[in-house]
Amino acid sequence: MNKSLIIQSKLDNINQVEKIIDEISELHSLHSDLYGKILIATIEGVNNAMVHGNKLDIDKKVFIDFNIINGQLKIAIEDEGVGFDSNAIPDPTMPENIENISGRGVFLMRKLSDEIFYNDKGTRVELIFNI
């Protein structure tokens, strides 16, 4: 199964991503816990692409690819921003960062997905879930 979606950087468009995840969940009879992990991690990734990557510039797009291969759901999210260093995001669970709201989305994506990869530029993330 392969699906692709290209959306403007408007937060209202996140519901299109949710619909595809709902379709995948139904087609593959995903357990509700796994569905929740996929939904939250993907929404965080798309939100980060829109807000931090594309700075909510509606002229910039977010590209999302959904692929199921060999029992894995791979979701790639790419923005048209300048990128970032994913390793430079401070751990939000450390005492000195507890009140800092930045970095929580990346932390959640790391914790909820089975694997996560960023391209060198930091404009593309791939989330992998074992289904």
Looking at residue 31, its amino acid is H
pLDDT of residue 31 exceeding 80 = yes
Where in the chain are the domains? 2-130
2-130 homologous superfamily = Histidine kinase-like ATPase, C-terminal domain (3.30.565.10)
Give the position of tokens 């619909």: 19
Burial of 41 (0-12, 13-18, 19+ CB in 10 A): buried
**pTM flag (> 0.85):** yes
CA atoms within 13 A on the CB side of 99: 1
> pLDDT tens for residues 81-131?
999 988 888 776 777 777 776 768 899 999 999 999 999 999 999 999 999
